[in-house]
Amino acid sequence: MNRLPALAGAAGMVFVGASVAVSGALADAPVLTVQCLRYTLAALLLLGFARLSRRALIRPRGTEWLWLSGVVLTGMFVFNLALVFGARHAEPAVLGVAVACVPVLLAVAGPLLEGRPVAARLVLAAGVVTAGAALVQGFGRSDAIGLIWAVVTFAGEAGFTLLAVPVLGRHGPLGVSVHATWLAAALFGLAGLAVEGPRAVTRLRVDDLVAGGYLAVGVTALAFVLWYTCVERLGSGRAGLLTGLAPIAAAATGVVLGGPTPALLVWLGVGVVTAGMTLGLRPARPGGRSGQVGRVAAEDERGDVQPVHAAVDAA
């Protein structure tokens, strides 16, 4: 398997995990306005990069608008609001565990959406990663409304990856990131004008702008391209395993910012996540059976699983 896509996905998840502490600084800010500014800045940065690197961006057509709108609505608009409103009813750990369940869904739904068979080893590895991430994150307390927001958070995080799969082939990671960010900026902008009013931007403090800037550059402009590159090259199922790095990065960031040293269960969770990713990302053994009669699974140089007909026909 090519290690570069996996490293790209891992770096993207580290940015996302480190953003947990940063997002907490925006608790009292006009969130819709901040998100609009965040995605506007990210879109401009991505457009500038595309121009400097002479990457051609193409206009979405037909149903591609629906897929991209789905990415924005579920994985960016609803997901961000679920984190904010969910935090009012549940401890952050509850929402973190909900996100940690995403690898299992991606391991099953991802291959089906990509037209490939579901790999039992990948599902098992995703379960291990989820268990490890839960140990790192902890479980926390919540009321019924908080649990509902946790489910919404889970669905939004899954939609961010799965709904991008049908358009990655034509637009590539950069194209999907550009279109998703400007669409998100427009959606948050309209919602911000309707709910928070046009003067909300004047209520932003310096620390709000700094936090929003980090989210725009690190968690959006960089992390989006890194993550979608990983999904395009490895497939959404394998890429999903790397989401287990997000809670580890969040825990590490907390220590760097002066938080307590992680407890024993956190270190155990790190080991379990590592074991799950090792199991799911290692190349399949040559000649291994796929479980389908007359077919075997082979990996190409990108790590994608491709079905190959068996050479020997039944007598």
The answer to whether position 311 is within a domain reads: no
For the chain, percent of residues with pLDDT exceeding 90:
36
Instruction: Tell me what pLDDT residue 308 has.
Output: 30
The answer to whether position 309 is within a domain reads: no
E strands, 194-255, are none
In total, how many domains does the chain have? 1
Tell the burial category of 270 from Cβ atoms under 10 Å away from its Cβ (0-12, 13-18, 19+): buried
The answer to whether position 32 is within a domain reads: yes
Task: Indicate the angle between helix axes 223-234 and 165-195, nearest 10 degrees.
Answer: 150
Instruction: Tell me what pLDDT residue 24 has.
Output: 64
Which residue has better confidence, 17 or 174? 174
Q: CB of 196 within 8 A of CB of 30?
A: yes
Instruction: Tell me what pLDDT residue 219 has.
Output: 87
Q: Has residue 15 got a pLDDT over 90?
A: no
In terms of average pLDDT, the best of 23-37, 86-100, 288-302 is 23-37
- Helix/strand/coil percent split, the chain, to 5: 75, 5, 25
125-142 per-position pLDDT tens digit = 999 998 888 888 776 677
CA angle 28, 81, 241 (to 5 degrees): 120
Instruction: Tell me what pLDDT residue 311 has.
Output: 29
The answer to whether position 301 is within a domain reads: no
The answer to whether position 314 is within a domain reads: no
E strands, the chain, are 295-299, 305-309
- Distance in angstroms (rounded) separating the CA atoms of residues 270 and 134: 10
Which residue has better confidence, 139 or 178? 178
- Distance in angstroms (rounded) separating the CA atoms of residues 1 and 75: 28
Query: Domain of 27?
Result: 3-283
Q: What is the number of other CB atoms lying within 10 angstroms of the CB of residue 93?
A: 18
The answer to whether position 303 is within a domain reads: no
The answer to whether position 249 is within a domain reads: yes
- Distance in angstroms (rounded) separating the CA atoms of residues 14 and 34: 22
The secondary structure of residue 282, as a DSSP letter, is S
Instruction: Tell me what pLDDT residue 303 has.
Output: 41
Q: What is the number of other CB atoms lying within 10 angstroms of the CB of residue 167?
A: 23
Which residue has better confidence, 91 or 81? 81
* β-pair partners for 308: 296
Q: What's the rounded mean pLDDT across residues 199-209?
A: 89
Number of residues written out for the chain: 315
The answer to whether position 225 is within a domain reads: yes
Compute the mean pLDDT over every residue in the chain, rounded to the nearest whole number: 82
Q: What is the number of other CB atoms lying within 10 angstroms of the CB of residue 39?
A: 29
Q: What's the rounded mean pLDDT across residues 68-91?
A: 86
For the chain, percent of residues with pLDDT exceeding 70:
85
Instruction: Tell me what pLDDT residue 297 has.
Output: 36
Q: Has residue 302 got a pLDDT over 50?
A: no
